[in-house]
């Protein structure tokens, strides 16, 4: 039986945390890893006992390896990767998993290189223990790949594609493991949260995005005013308006910018160029406001309003 064979694996999840809690993305990674078999959570940190205890309670976690040492205080990949390699040498996991976040993307490829394995990044679906689905070309081509040559599969999973494991229900034993030493090549200075009070584009619940139809830098103000009326709403833009200098390039949504998948994407005065669509078409609901009825954005929008944006946007703001 397929499922039985499937569950013979032994997976290690490299946990991302803030010294207090297991990150939500890591909870998704843990849930994804349960598809392979028993899950061991690796919690590295300094003063991170609370995290190890929390990880032990996560549903699906069968064991916790806790390494508490100064070199893991900020989870620098130069230090974490050799530790993962050491844990792997001792326990021979079939799969090593992390979330496809800034942390996972920094650590897993490093582990892969030193263990001579080709990693499988940004997995959106696990077909079986060696077959994985991942997007390429910013989601315009979906690739199914099979890893048969490498003895251990190293993957990062896209957190939004896997439910989070429950934070209760587990009762794993926590065991200590020796630290692997300080690489001494990089030093953490600070983590700075965005000061604007605006949510990050990639994690915002709603994104209001503007295109060439806005006509000028000054006119973007109406999008900011609309965004202020919507909780957890970020402002985005097309490459065309970034190139025109209307907004800075960190607002760019698209294949060469940020790929977003909010609950609601409001496309204002943008036609829907291919590379822009690639960055937002996985949004749950798409609404657009455009005065050109033939704009391609209408073909992907759940709700399309043909209107002059300079009238419609302030009106929309007044209704919220």
Of residues 1 through 40, those in contact with other proteins by CB under 8 A are 25
Q: Least distance in Å: CB of 40 to other proteins?
A: 22
φ/ψ of residue 73, rounded to 5? -55, -40
Least distance between other proteins and beta carbon 56 (Å): 25
Torsion of CA 143, 147, 153, 158, to 10 degrees: 10
How many residues at the interface with other proteins, by CB under 8 A?
Answer: 94
Shortest separation between residue 110's beta carbon and other proteins, angstroms: 4
Site membership for other proteins, residue 308 (CB under 8 A):
no
Whether residue 253 contacts residue 207, with contact meaning beta carbons closer than 8 Å, is answered with yes
Report yes or no: 97 and 32 within 8 Å, Cβ to Cβ: yes
Quick one: 172 or 237, whose CB is closer to other proteins? Answer: 237
Residue 34 CB, shortest distance to other proteins, in Å, is 23
| Of 52, 61, 83, 112, the one binding other proteins by CB under 8 A | 112
Which of 59, 160, 275, 291 is in the footprint of other proteins by CB under 8 A? 275
Pick between residue 101 and residue 172 the one whose CB is nearest to other proteins: 101
- Which residue in the set 3, 4, 89, 190 belongs to the binding site for other proteins (CB under 8 A)? 190
- Determine which residue in the list 89, 148, 197, 218 makes contact with other proteins, applying CB under 8 A: 148
Q: Which of 7, 50, 145, 152 binds other proteins (CB under 8 A)?
A: 145
Q: Please say which residue, 192 or 218, places its beta carbon nearer to other proteins.
A: 192
Q: Should residue 114 be labelled a site residue for other proteins when binding is judged by CB under 8 A? A: yes
- Specify the 3-state DSSP secondary structure of 55: helix
Instruction: Return the number of the residue (172 or 247) whose C-beta is nearest other proteins.
Output: 247
Per-residue DSSP letter, 138: G
Q: Does the CA dihedral 33-164-105-281 come out positive or negative?
A: positive
Shortest CB 36 distance to other proteins, Å: 17
Q: What DSSP character marks residue 81?
A: H
CB distance 42 to 14 below 8 Å: yes
Cα–chain-centroid distance for residue 197? 20
CA nearest neighbour of 104 among 192, 184, 28, 190: 28
Draw the binding track, 64-103, toward other proteins (x: CB under 8 A; -: no contact).
------------xxx--x-------------------xxx
Under rule CB under 8 A, residue 248 binds other proteins: yes
Chain position carrying tokens 């205890």: 53
209 counts as binding other proteins under rule CB under 8 A: no
Backbone CA torsion sign across 37, 13, 157, 200: positive
* Tokens 């251990």 sit on residue: 152
Among 11, 61, 270, 312, contact with other proteins (rule: CB under 8 A): 312
- Say how many Å lie between the first and final Cα of the chain, rounded: 54
Query: What is the C-alpha separation between 209 and 116, in angstroms, rounded?
Result: 42
Q: Which is nearer to other proteins, 66 or 283 (CB)?
A: 283
């Amino acid at each position: 039986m397929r499922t039985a064979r499937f569950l013979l694996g032994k997976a290690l999840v490299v946990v991302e945390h803030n010294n207090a809690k297991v990150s939500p993305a890591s909870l998704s990674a843990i849930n994804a890893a349960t598809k392979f078999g028993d899950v061991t959570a690796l919690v590295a940190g300094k003063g991170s006992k609370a995290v190890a205890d929390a990880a032990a309670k996560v549903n699906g976690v069968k064991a916790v390896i806790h390494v508490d040492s100064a070199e893991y205080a900020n989870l620098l990949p130069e230090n974490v990767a050799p530790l993962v390699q050491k844990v792997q040498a001792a326990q021979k996991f079939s799969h090593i998993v992390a979330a496809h976040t800034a942390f996972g993307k920094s650590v897993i490829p490093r582990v892969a290189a030193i263990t001579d394995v080709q990693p499988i990044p940004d997995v959106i679906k696990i077909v079986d223990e060696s077959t994985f689905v991942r997007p390429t070309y910013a989601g315009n081509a979906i690739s199914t790949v099979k890893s048969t040559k490498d003895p251990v599969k190293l993957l990062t999973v896209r957190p939004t594609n896997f439910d989070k494991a429950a934070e209760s229900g587990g009762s794993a034993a926590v065991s200590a493991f020796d630290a692997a030493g300080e690489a001494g090549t990089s030093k953490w200075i600070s983590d700075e949260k965005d000061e604007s009070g605006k949510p990050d584009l990639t994690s915002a619940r709603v994104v209001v995005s503007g295109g060439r139809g806005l006509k000028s830098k000054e006119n973007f103000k109406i999008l900011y005013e609309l965004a202020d009326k919507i909780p957890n709403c970020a402002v985005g833009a097309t490459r065309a308006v970034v190139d025109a200098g209307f907004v800075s390039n960190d607002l760019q949504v698209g294949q060469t910018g940020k790929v977003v998948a909010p609950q609601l994407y409001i496309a204002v005065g943008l036609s829907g160029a291919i590379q822009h669509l690639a960055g937002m078409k996985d949004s749950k609901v798409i609404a657009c406001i455009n005065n050109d009825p033939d704009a391609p954005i209408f073909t992907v929008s759940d709700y399309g309003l043909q209107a002059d944006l300079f009238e419609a946007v302030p009106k929309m703001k007044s209704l919220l």
